[in-house]
């Protein structure tokens, strides 16, 4: 697969990070590997914490001309001038988010392993749908299999994201069938996130 055809990297922040050190670590990763989009995905619901985190990572994202979206928080996305929102409830909130944020914002939808949710999200105006996890167990224990990605890439125009439990082997398999790989804990939990990311990206070729 040529570099032009390869899936793009959609970087996801850790659920918790240190505001003093993480922006520098993030900048090193983005400087060292081309990133299409960055998602602020924190475990907290505290608005003050989210706002301070968004301010810190937005500065890095915009320095490298990378779009920044936030998990779930449509109102915060608008208030903080972010590029959009990643919704975690399938198709349910897509129309409302699109109405609030306007036609130019990025609105993405996490649809677990559901073709129906994915199709509904696309029809409601989502810019992308995300399926996963692609290995391991998360939440309900289901995984998004190759058939789902293969079917989607053949039948549906809406870009698709693979996420959750990405390994070199899963990336190698899914590369022909996905538009983006959402990579987060796979790299942040390692000693050298940039080197780990480069290793995962090498599996696409």
Q: What is the pLDDT of residue 137?
A: 58
Cis peptide bond prior to 133, omega within 30° of 0: yes
What are the CA-CA distances from residue 148 to residues 55, 115, 126, 144 (Å)?
Answer: 36, 7, 18, 7
Is residue 152 assigned to a domain?
A: yes
Radius of gyration of the chain (CA): 16
Phi, psi of 106 (to 5 degrees): -85, 125
In a domain, 104, yes or no: yes
CA atoms of 205 and 73, how far apart (whole Å): 35
Query: Pick from 75, 123, 66: which is nearest to 101 by CA?
Result: 75
Domain residues for the domain of 123 are 8-202
> Which tens digits make up the pLDDT trace of 30-70?
999 999 999 999 999 999 999 999 999 999 999 999 999 99
pTM: 0.96
Q: Does 3 reside within a domain?
A: no
pLDDT at residue 39, rounded to an integer: 98
CB-facing half-sphere around the CA of 184: CA atoms within 13 A: 18
CATH of the domain at 192: 3.20.20.70
Residue 1 counted as domain residue: no
Residues with pLDDT less than 70, the chain: 1-4, 137-140
* Residue 65 within any structural domain of the chain: yes
Q: What pLDDT score was predicted for residue 5?
A: 84
User: How many structural domains comprise the chain?
Assistant: 1
Q: Provide the pLDDT for residue 60.
A: 98
């Amino acid at each position: 697969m040529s570099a032009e055809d390869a899936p793009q990297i959609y970087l996801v922040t850790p659920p918790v990070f240190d505001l003093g050190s993480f922006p520098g670590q993030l900048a090193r990763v983005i400087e060292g590997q081309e990133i299409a989009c960055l998602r602020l995905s924190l475990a907290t619901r505290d608005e003050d914490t989210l706002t301070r985190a968004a301010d810190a990572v937005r500065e890095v994202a915009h320095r490298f001309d990378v779009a920044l979206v936030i998990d779930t928080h449509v109102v915060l996305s608008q208030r903080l001038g972010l590029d959009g929102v990643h919704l975690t409830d399938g198709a349910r909130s897509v129309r409302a988010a699109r109405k609030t944020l306007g036609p130019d914002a990025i609105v993405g939808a996490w649809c677990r392993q559901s073709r129906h949710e994915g199709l509904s999200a696309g029809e409601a105006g989502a810019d992308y749908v995300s399926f996963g996890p692609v290995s391991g167990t998360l939440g309900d224990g289901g995984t998004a299999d190759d058939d789902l990605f293969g079917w989607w890439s053949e039948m549906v125009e809406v870009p698709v994201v693979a996420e959750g439990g990405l390994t070199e082997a899963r990336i190698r398999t899914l590369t022909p069938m996905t538009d983006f790989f959402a990579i987060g804990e796979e790299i942040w939990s390692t000693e050298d996130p940039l080197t780990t990311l480069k290793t995962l990206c090498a599996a696409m070729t």
